Amino acid sequence: MKEDFIRRKERWAKKMSGRERPTRPNAGRLPPGQHEVNNFPVLDLGVHPEIPLDEWQLKIHGEVENPVTLNWEQFMALPQFTDVSDFHCVTTWSQFDMEFEGVAFFTLTELIKPRPSASHLFFTGYDDYTTNTTLDACMDDDVMIAHSWNGQPLTLEHGGPARMIIPKLYAWKGAKFIREIEFRDHDELGFWEQRGYSNTADPFVEDRFS
Ligand SMILES: Nc1nc2c(c(=O)[nH]1)N[C@H]1C(S)=C(S)[C@@H](COP(=O)(O)O)O[C@H]1N2
Ligand SMILES: [Mo]
């Protein structure tokens, strides 16, 4: 476990320093039961909350040493991170080679310093959507809070100003219009998790429903 964590953090450090281009396998990257698309469909509860950048805030708190509420300027002043990943929606579409830019989750954890008691995360969007993961699932080199896709600011329908990207989990685990991230010492099911979707959500084992 510890060694795996160190490897993920090393991969992230290499990406941050520009010494490693993200490389993607060609074979075996389409999870079972998925098909590839190229049109980046929109999926959400149908509410697209419009948050002016000068009112936008991201609150990160809970089991952390240094809780913060970032405004847009502070968020954009953090070290920036670009990565390429695949995107898997539980409704069976996958899109490869998605280039997102934002703030790496490892950068956030260095800022807020999770307490040893922090084991889970609870995410809330400006549309009041919620979802949850383990902390471990987000301590990975490809996890970020993205503000841009393919070099352009995220459109509102895709979760702008900023959204979570957690490539190794089905996309409902990535909260669009992100407003709050709470570090917790216990798990709590989010919107879809309460409605029968899997809590762990690993596309490669078709972990769709609980
Ligand atoms: N805030 C918020 N985030 C959300 C959702 C939502 O309804 N609200 N839907 C989730 C679901 S079910 C999916 S598949 C992805 C879709 O992201 P996209 O619309 O950019 O394709 O966002 C996820 N994040
Ligand atoms: Mo979804």
- Cα of 157 vs centre of ligand 2, distance in Å, is 13
pLDDT at 170: 98
Q: Contacts by 155-163 with C-beta closer than 8 Å and gap 24+?
A: 156/48, 156/50, 157/42, 157/44, 157/48, 158/40, 158/42, 159/44, 159/125, 161/51, 161/53, 161/56, 161/72, 162/56, 162/58, 162/75, 162/102, 163/125
pLDDT at 134: 98
Query: Which CATH number is 143's domain given?
Result: 3.90.420.10
Total domains, the chain: 1
Top mutation candidate among 44, 129, 152 for ligand 1, by most atoms within 8 Å of CB: 44
pLDDT, averaged per 10 consecutive residues of the chain (210 residues), comes to: 89 90 72 97 96 98 98 98 97 97 98 98 98 98 98 98 98 98 98 97 95
pLDDT at 131: 98
pLDDT at 26: 61
pLDDT at 20: 75
0.75 surpassed by pTM: yes
In a domain, 25, yes or no: no
- Cα of 23 vs centre of ligand 2, distance in Å, is 26
- Cα of 17 vs centre of ligand 1, distance in Å, is 30
In a domain, 22, yes or no: no
Nearest CA to ligand 1 atom 19: 42
In a domain, 161, yes or no: yes
pLDDT at 18: 87
In a domain, 34, yes or no: no
Domain that residue 195 falls in: 2-15+56-205
**Up-side HSE of residue 165: CA atoms within 13 Å toward CB?**
30
- Cα of 41 vs centre of ligand 1, distance in Å, is 10
Whether ligand 1 lies within 6 angstroms of the CB of 77 is answered as: no
pLDDT at 160: 98
Top mutation candidate among 40, 42, 43, 173 for ligand 1, by most atoms within 8 Å of CB: 43
Whether ligand 1 lies within 6 angstroms of the CB of 175 is answered as: yes
